[in-house]
Amino acid sequence: MLTLAIFAVLLVLLMIDVPIAVAIGLTAVIFFVAQGQVNFLTLLPQRMYFGTTGFTLLAIPFFILAGNLMNTGGTTDRLFGFARALVGHVKGGVGQVSIVAAMIMSGISGSAIADAAGMGRVQYASMKRAGYPDGVAAAIVVGASTLGPVIPPSIPFVLYGAITSVSITRLFLAGCLPGIVMGGAMMLAIYLMAGPRGLPCDQLTSDYWPKLWVATKRAFFPLMAPIIIIGGMMTGFFTPTEAAVVASLYALGLGFYYKDLKLKDLPDVLFTTIKQTCGLMFIIATANFFGWFVIFERIPDTLIAQLLALGTTPAGFIWIVIAIVLVLGCFIDGNAIFLITLPIFMKLCPMYGVDMVNFGVVMTLLIMIGNMTPPVGMCLFAVDSFAKIGVWKLAYESMPHLLAILAVTILCAFVPEIALCVPDWLMGPGN
């Protein structure tokens, strides 16, 4: 009953538009006061401070900065041009290009919101010029933006690793194949809807290979970014946290090299990065206190006892997780879901033989679905900020992509080899 009461209060606070960070912290405060444990509130500042001081979390502001530099510096235009030369002639045309471009950009930014707000504008404008309906074009941008946190590097993977102490390098590698499968599933959805929705595509001409060569040369250095980032971590040249700094410096260098980024642009880029980082860190700080409160109240132990009493199987546990996160995703930001649920789930996973690396991939895929579901779908709001078609209509148009991601999520949940084969191959099992 206590568990249900806690999450009921949290959902009520969110539904009356209390900011996420405040709602998370206030829920813990309310229950401490209600139970006559006011003296524990003296730990609130300490737990909030402790929650934001992990070395791993330093990667988050730098990956955000890298994405903002790429979007401001015009690098996204070069990547989009390469993707169009590569697959613009495929059935579904510029929609297919948007998915491929997002898969490449994902290897740099690691943020769904950054991709939706940055490259998303380029994708949407290109599809509109090609004659795509407003809703279809905006929905493809929403779907494509969710690739950012799955294909490494990834801000959610950094956060997951910081909470669970799972190797971030293994998490990054584990996201490679599921991200590619996820992109392929969305490309298939676009291919199937191209005929019924009348989606145009580029003509395949005899000079396809020369055009592709020109586009590849133009985008060569941006295309090298994911290789440098992942390769540097694999060779041990730098840690995942240091990789974020390298990504930022590389993005900055590209912007100046191509002369798309000016010194006068840097204050706005830095200020935007600071705002985004502060918002996320405030959530992390209050959620750390909430997580400590959950453990203090022995909620994970209670849930473990209840699940054991029910005789829940490993498959049943996975389905419970999927259902819980999908419901929470409609109301709570994905990072907050991590911070609220992982203190509980990380104790349950070993009991059911669930691999924590694969679980991180599944959780990230689930919160990407949450980014596409109203009323709190962050990618929906980011895209609607320039598409102006309405969040609910956009959510409806995004259903084919949401179903494609859900299918990949369920596949990864029950076939963990999809996520684990790459890290096991490159790093060895369990390293």
pLDDT of residue 427: 82
Per-state percent for the chain, helix, strand, coil, to nearest 5:
80, 0, 20
Structure tokens at 76: 């996204």
Average pLDDT of the segment spanning 216-235: 87
Cα–chain-centroid distance for residue 407? Answer: 17
pLDDT of residue 430: 67
Q: 392 pLDDT band (50/70/90 cuts)? A: confident
Provide, rounded to the nearest whole percent, the portion of the chain with pLDDT above 90.
34
Average pLDDT of the segment spanning 137-159: 91
Full-model pTM: 0.85
Cα–chain-centroid distance for residue 260? Answer: 27
Average pLDDT of the segment spanning 273-287: 84
Residue 431 has pLDDT above 60, yes or no: no
Residue 82 has pLDDT above 90, yes or no: yes
pLDDT of residue 1: 66
Q: Between 266 and 304, whose confidence is greater?
A: 266
Q: Between 239 and 355, whose confidence is greater?
A: 355
Q: Each residue of 306-329: pLDDT tens digit?
A: 776 777 789 999 999 999 899 888
Length of the chain: 431
CB 182 within 8 A of CB 100: no
Q: What type of residue is 350?
A: P
Least confident segment among 22-31, 123-132, 209-218, 375-384: 375-384
Average pLDDT of the segment spanning 195-206: 85
pLDDT of residue 242: 87
Provide, rounded to the nearest whole percent, the portion of the chain with pLDDT above 70.
97
pLDDT of residue 364: 96
Average pLDDT of the segment spanning 73-93: 86
Residue 344 has pLDDT above 90, yes or no: no
pLDDT of residue 136: 93
Average pLDDT, the chain: 86
**Winning range, highest mean pLDDT, from 150-164, 176-190, 194-208:** 176-190
Q: What is the spatial distance between Cα 192 and Cα 125, in angstroms, rounded to a whole number?
A: 22
CA-wise closest residue to 354 among 420, 425, 423, 426: 420
Residue 376 has pLDDT above 90, yes or no: no
pLDDT of residue 276: 82
DSSP state of 376: S
pLDDT of residue 226: 83
pLDDT of residue 271: 93
Q: Between 326 and 60, whose confidence is greater?
A: 326
Q: Say which residues have a Cβ less than 8 Å from residue 387's Cβ, sequence separation at least 6.
A: 124, 134, 137, 138, 141, 394
pLDDT of residue 134: 92
Q: Between 260 and 113, whose confidence is greater?
A: 260
Average pLDDT of the segment spanning 9-16: 80
Residue 73 has pLDDT above 70, yes or no: no
pLDDT of residue 406: 97
CA-wise closest residue to 422 among 155, 224, 223, 175: 175
